[in-house]
Amino acid sequence: MEKIIDESKQGESIVLAQNPKNTRKLYIESYGCQMNFSDSEIVASILAKEGFNTTNRLEEADLVLVNTCSIRDKAEQTVRKRLEKYNAVKKNNPTMKVGVLGCMAERLKSKFLEEEKIVDMVVGPDAYKDLPNLVQEIDEGRNAVNVILSKEETYGDISPVRLNSNGINALVSITRGCDNMCTFCVVPFTRGRERSRDPQSILEEIQELVDKNYKEVTLLGQNVDSYLWYGGGLKKDFSKASEMQKATAVDFAKLLDMVATRFPKLRLRFSTSNPQDMHENVLLVMAKHKNICNYIHLPVQSGSDRILKEMNRLHTREEYFRLIDKIREIIPECGISQDMIAGFPTETEEDHQDTLSLMRYVKYDFGYMFAYSERPGTMAARKMEDDVPEPVKKRRLAEIIALQQEHSAYRTKAQVGKIKEVLIEGTSKKSDAHWKGRTSENTVAVFPKENYKPGDFVNVKIIDCTSATLLGEAVGLSDNN
């Protein structure tokens, strides 16, 4: 659940610059979190070298891929409907091949391939480099599957094409997999154990982005604070590393410092953080560098110690409060957002009230809130009864959302009268005469266009706000341009 899912991007198909030498058409749709969209860029890069140009017309595709998410039941149902649509189109284009990528692929491989026979190819999140071989298999009329989870694969040597990019913001994956066995989450079973990318490959990828004039990079991982490079291998095996490997290891604070120092004009974000792994050193690096955004996505999931234990979250309510206090002490204006689950198995009204009181203590800037949905393959699905009635879940979720909206409005109003640096990302959805961008704290700001352009860092005086958006007027370019 610690994955940010942007509903506006679900099912987005991607189109890249066409290579005139490529003769085949690839249609690829992505669902789920930022990690899946980043993976789609890797897949498109690999298949571009195999003769595929991307298309947004499903009907003309030779190969149709859907990159899937197992984190929520809604995403899974949507993907099933899309597979039905693909197969309806396939009747008119019998040479079309259909494949499923990502988290659902690993979990439902036999169902998709053998029982329902709705796909030709199933590819897990660690097997994308095997796509040339798998495509050859399906071209020769055989089903193809590779869902083996790797202990080494980080795709550090693949330079991803940027799909549907605005040319300003980019995602750079720094870890894959997760070692935190939260009972509600399927990620450790679909993406494998945690391993980190070579920091040199991360710096090289960011250098390419800077050379192309990108202005903001988000370092991405299931749990970025757990980043640890000691020459390769799983994080859990670090205890077996040599003394030299341990002495020269790079943790997340060091990586963040390296990137911020090397690219002082590049705005940096990171996601997702885990409360048990976020150390003070990261906060000190954030405070040291002006180009690291004052924003942390810090999922908590519940405010009840009892439920946190049931979820196998390795932190308590009190430890979370201490971390929040430390963030406020070191980075006073830091924006903080949350993930929250309503109606986890055995949750009582008292547990729910603990969640609301935790929210009142923190007063998050915004959040991602869901009613509990049992995910097959998770520990919760195997060991716990989904015993909170649906109407109770919905009511508790509504109360969480209402309180978050109140806090979002409070945090937004606190910005009025201040001058904030805003990176222009594009035209406002509501007015062609206004730019939109985000502040360091990740709040959306809108202001009249004047003579500025996308990619500019602009100082904006905030004169008004809605509950979630800052309204202002530019007072000039910032010194970050």
Q: Which residues are annotated as a binding site?
A: 33, 69, 103, 178, 182, 185
Q: Which residues are annotated as a binding site for [4Fe-4S] cluster?
A: 33, 69, 103, 178, 182, 185
Question: Look-up: residue for tokens 């890797």?
Answer: 42
317-330 vs 349-362: helix crossing angle, rounded to 10: 10
Nearest to 229 by CA among 194, 277, 261: 194
Nearest-angstrom CA–CA distance, 143 and 121: 6
Which residues, listed in sequence order, are joined to residue 99 by a DSSP beta bridge? 65, 121
Task: Round to whole Å and give the CA distance between 29 and 100.
Answer: 10
